[in-house]
């Protein structure tokens, strides 16, 4: 049993894939050695780490299903000896009155017999701040940030006490900035006061990293913490862990290099243009050809194979908004998306089968599809390339079970030269 010699300190449950990586990245930067698992593992943990982040896909599934998935993750983490549980959700508190933040939080509290926890999506480094219980995205309230129009989880109220109360049985309260600014003792006193008033879950104000670092010590020993990824910066110190180079150490990199991109975000469009301008070989995929049944995957691999020895190549479906709209108009939004994801995942697999061992993937959904196609079950988290995007190391079935380095970049992350810069950091 590994946890006897190396106790698992923090067991984390993340409600989506790139959110899990974001949390793992913050924990590594604060000095923890972290593994991210894709779903709940079948067997025991076989790595010596301080924290595990179990990545679920539970953000927008029906609440009962999110609860079941989260409890399965909890039970696995408890079996590994986790001392504290961290439920991670989106920094824009993505949820509806049906859930899933409230129902999952309360199910975890019930299972842990825990009568009080906190909730805060604050992540000042990413411009998410909470003041008097109101969530700001950048300079505006959440409900003016564009999130009020989200297709699945429209956020029309920035008052998180109200939002969470609407999806919780327990009474929801607020640890406001007056207490947070005074430090851990004042926060603990406020928690005692709220408990006395029958509050079970408290939203916490935080407008800076200093607020999160003051909050950290007040959470020592709390069985369950619920938050975005920001609160993670203040927790490792509770276990005597300080930032270190060793936390992000990965095995030495080897093998060929490639980038696959299925993201159509503004940032990714710039990154593709930058890679091409740098003179690197790049191949665009045409979704209409895919739909017509052409062997786009085979053609892409045949194109890439002779080039791989000379440095990274890029295969991309990245396109500007009007091109994407026209493809979606002809194929349907979901059909086009799923078809392109499948093709890019098959290309990623083919590249790894041809010796690629350093792979950058752009796109959140695209990353999920690639990780699945590569037969990756868990990722060791390494150093940060850009905020929110670390290099990872993983055993891959496509690599014959041996390891590869992989970076999973969600749409709007990363500098313009990300696709070339990333390899320089290995």
Tell me the torsion sign for CA atoms 361, 363, 368, 372.
Answer: negative
User: Between 157 and 416, whose beta carbon lies closer to ligand ADP?
Assistant: 416
Backbone φ, ψ for residue 349 (5° rounding): -65, -45
Reference 219, options 333, 119, 105; nearest CA is 119
Touching ligand ADP, residues 363-402 (CB under 6 A): 363-366
Pick from 55, 172, 319, 385 the residue near ligand ADP by CB under 6 A.
Answer: 319
Reference 109, options 216, 15, 201; nearest CA is 201
* Closest CB 200 distance from ligand ADP, rounded Å: 35
* Closest CB 77 distance from ligand ADP, rounded Å: 27
User: Between 116 and 413, whose beta carbon lies closer to ligand ADP?
Assistant: 413
Pick from 11, 255, 350, 411 the residue near ligand ADP by CB under 6 A.
Answer: 411
User: Between 36 and 263, whose beta carbon lies closer to ligand ADP?
Assistant: 263
Pick from 327, 385, 389, 399 the residue near ligand ADP by CB under 6 A.
Answer: 327
User: Between 92 and 226, whose beta carbon lies closer to ligand ADP?
Assistant: 92
Which segment (246-254, 301-309, 316-324, 399-407) binds ligand ADP by CB under 6 A? Answer: 316-324
Q: What burial letters (b/e) apply to 123-160, b meaning 16+ CB within 10 Å?
A: bbebebbbeebbbbbeeebbbebebeeeeebebebbbb
Which segment (209-217, 221-229, 260-268, 302-310) binds ligand ADP by CB under 6 A? Answer: 260-268
User: Between 67 and 260, whose beta carbon lies closer to ligand ADP?
Assistant: 260
* Closest CB 266 distance from ligand ADP, rounded Å: 9
271 is an interface residue for ligand ADP by CB under 6 A: no
* Closest CB 324 distance from ligand ADP, rounded Å: 4
C-alpha separations of 93 from 156, 168, 170 in Å: 11, 14, 18
SS3 (DSSP) at 5: helix
Reference 27, options 47, 7, 49; nearest CA is 49
Cα–Cα distance for residue pair 250/110, rounded to 1 Å: 37
Pick from 265, 269, 358, 378 the residue near ligand ADP by CB under 6 A.
Answer: 265
Pick from 145, 317, 378, 396 the residue near ligand ADP by CB under 6 A.
Answer: 317
Q: Residue 368: exposed, middle, or buried by beta-carbon count in 10 A (0-12, 13-18, 19+)? A: buried
User: Dihedral of the CA atoms 365, 367, 369, 373 (nearest 10)?
Assistant: 180
287 is an interface residue for ligand ADP by CB under 6 A: yes
Pick from 264, 282, 304, 379 the residue near ligand ADP by CB under 6 A.
Answer: 264
Number of residues binding to ligand ADP, judged by CB under 6 A: 21
Break the chain down into helix, strand, coil percent, rounded to 5: 45, 25, 35
Which segment (93-101, 132-140, 321-329, 351-359) binds ligand ADP by CB under 6 A? Answer: 321-329
Residue 215 in contact with residue 234, Cβ under 8 Å?
Answer: yes
Pick from 148, 208, 328, 372 the residue near ligand ADP by CB under 6 A.
Answer: 328
Q: What angle do CA 343, 345, 349 make, to 5 degrees?
A: 115
Binding pattern to ligand ADP, positions 330-369, x when CB under 6 A? ------xx--xx---------------------xxxx---
Cα–Cα distance for residue pair 35/48, rounded to 1 Å: 9
* Closest CB 348 distance from ligand ADP, rounded Å: 12
Give the end-to-end CA distance of the chain in Å, rounded to a whole number. Answer: 32
263 is an interface residue for ligand ADP by CB under 6 A: yes
Pick from 410, 418, 419, 422 the residue near ligand ADP by CB under 6 A.
Answer: 410
Q: What burial letters (b/e) apply to 36-70, b meaning 16+ CB within 10 Å?
A: bbbbbbeeebeeebbbbbbbbbbbbbebeebbebb
Residue 372 in contact with residue 231, Cβ under 8 Å?
Answer: no
Pick from 255, 262, 382, 414 the residue near ligand ADP by CB under 6 A.
Answer: 262
* Residues binding ligand ADP (CB under 6 A): 262-265, 268, 287, 317, 319, 324, 327-328, 336-337, 340-341, 363-366, 410-411
């Amino acid at each position: 049993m590994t946890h006897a010699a190396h106790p698992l300190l923090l067991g984390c449950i993340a409600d989506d894939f790139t959110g899990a990586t974001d949390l793992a990245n913050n924990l590594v930067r604060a000095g923890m050695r972290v593994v991210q698992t894709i779903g709940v593992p079948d067997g025991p943990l076989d790595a010596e780490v301080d924290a595990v982040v179990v990545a679920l896909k539970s953000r927008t599934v029906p609440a009962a299903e999110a609860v079941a998935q989260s409890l399965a993750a909890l039970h696995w983490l408890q079996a590994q000896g986790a001392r504290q549980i961290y439920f991670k959700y989106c920094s824009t508190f993505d949820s509806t009155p049906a859930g899933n933040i409230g129902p999952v939080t309360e199910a975890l509290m019930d299972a842990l017999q825990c009568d009080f926890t906190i909730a805060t999506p604050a992540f000042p480094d990413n411009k998410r701040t909470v003041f008097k219980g109101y969530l700001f995205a950048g300079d505006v309230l959440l409900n003016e940030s564009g999130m009020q129009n989200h297709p699945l989880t429209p956020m029309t109220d920035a008052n998180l006490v109200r939002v969470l109360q609407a999806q919780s049985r327990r009474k929801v309260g607020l640890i406001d900035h007056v207490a947070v600014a005074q430090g851990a003792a004042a926060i603990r006193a406020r928690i005692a006061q709220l408990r006395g008033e029958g509050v079970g879950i408290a939203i916490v104000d935080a407008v800076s990293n200093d607020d999160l670092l003051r909050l950290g010590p007040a959470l020592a020993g709390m069985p369950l913490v619920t938050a975005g990824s920001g609160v993670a910066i203040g927790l490792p110190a509770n276990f005597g862990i300080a930032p270190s180079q060793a936390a992000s150490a990965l095995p030495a990199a080897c093998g060929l290099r490639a980038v696959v991109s299925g993201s159509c975000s503004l940032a990714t469009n710039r990154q593709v243009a930058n890679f091409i301008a740098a003179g690197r070989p790049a191949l665009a995929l045409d979704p209409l050809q895919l739909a017509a049944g052409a062997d786009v995957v085979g053609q892409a691999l045949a194109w890439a194979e002779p080039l791989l020895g000379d440095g990274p190549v890029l295969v991309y479906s990245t396109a500007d908004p009007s091109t994407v709209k026209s493809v979606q108009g002809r194929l349907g939004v979901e059909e086009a998306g799923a078809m392109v994801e499948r093709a890019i995942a098959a290309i990623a697999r083919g590249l790894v089968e041809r010796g690629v061992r350093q792979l950058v993937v752009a796109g959140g959904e695209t990353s999920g599809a690639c990780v699945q196609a590569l037969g990756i079950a868990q990722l060791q988290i390494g150093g940060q390339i850009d905020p929110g995007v670390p290099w990872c190391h993983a055993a891959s079935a496509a690599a014959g079970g041996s390891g590869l380095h992989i970076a999973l970049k969600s749409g709007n992350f990363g500098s313009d030269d990300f696709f070339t810069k990333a390899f320089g950091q290995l």
